[in-house]
Amino acid sequence: MDFELNEDQRAIVQAAREFAEGELAPHAARWDAECIFPREAFARAGEMGFCAIYADETIGGLGLPRLDATLVFEEMAAVDPSTTAFLTIHNMATWMVGKWGSQALRDAWGAQLASGAKLASYCLTEPNAGSDAASLRTRARLDGDHYVLDGSKAFISGGGDTQLLVVMARSGGEGPKGISAFAVPADLPGITYGRKEDKMGWNSQSTRQITFENVRVPAAYRLGEEGEGFTIAMRGLDGGRINIGTCSVGAAQGAYDAARRYLTERKQFGRPLADFQALQFKLADMATSIVSARQMVRLAACKLDQGNADAATYCAMAKRFATDAGFQVCLDAQQIHGGYGYLRDYPLERLVRDTRVHQILEGTNEIMRVIIARQLIEKGADLR
């Protein structure tokens, strides 16, 4: 078992780090403070191939494994978890179009999504369907060569700023088998956007409710077969859990780096803070948590790349552990900074705010425990 990155992966890391330092770091605080959706930064990410890292090469994607995607997202999240998190969502939607889209859909949208010329949002959650995604009520009724969509989606990242919506809607009966997936152009008649939500963090990406009223979507824009939508959604969430876990690892690394610098520069009682054993121990625990979370995320990514039968379990474990550990590391780094950690002049308060939601989305960490326990008890999963 080789834990070392190969030469190509090290080059990916370096390219992502340079992009993060050049395109994200100088602007992240302003985007957060002014709630700016950085459209130009996403376009430049597309020029690097970062808008379609694991999407199929036939639509212009890089076709890289999920493991390599974690390397990119971690470097970016170290300076801007919010912007990086939206980029992961766009990557997931682009991958879905490339994998399950018809040729007509791929021809119309694939290259534009892969290049970052156009962006996509993922629409699963509803006002009354969060953790219980299979109970969603948005409906899709076949009418000739179109589906007619009616319903609402909530907490949609990028809503109002993106050009394509990947929507899960009920085309059949109750339960997961009645759900289908659709790629919906965001400017179709009948689509309305709610106000931009006023959030604790993730301020560089808009979050809105979206309502569909008699929205006519070409039947050719259905993803996969009718009734396959819930399976597609869950496949997406496995990767999404790796992605958000990676964003937590990256943010934790950025917070740790800031704390370590602060310990060597700040003096109290005539000595650098780094001389105090209590703070040394805290730094050691932070580093251990980061390494542990990183390895769990990368293991889950490898399981997903290999199509392992237990991949979903590993994705849930990685998401649960990495988001909890990452948030705690950010809190510890803020504590090390004392009062300065509470000021917006330092990145710690932004990293704390941005990583808090990681424990909630892509399935709450309580739901992750349900998934893991079910695999262990009902299916007798052997994780050795």
Query: What letter does residue 187 receive in the DSSP assignment?
Result: T
Q: Does the annotation count 362 as an active-site position?
A: yes
Place of tokens 């892509």: 362
- Tokens representing 230 are 């819930």
Catalytic residue chosen out of the listed positions 197, 226, 362, 378:
362
- Residue 29, C-beta contacts closer than 8 angstroms, at least 6 positions apart: 344, 347, 350
Q: Which residues pair with 167 in a beta bridge?
A: 123, 182
Active site residues: 362
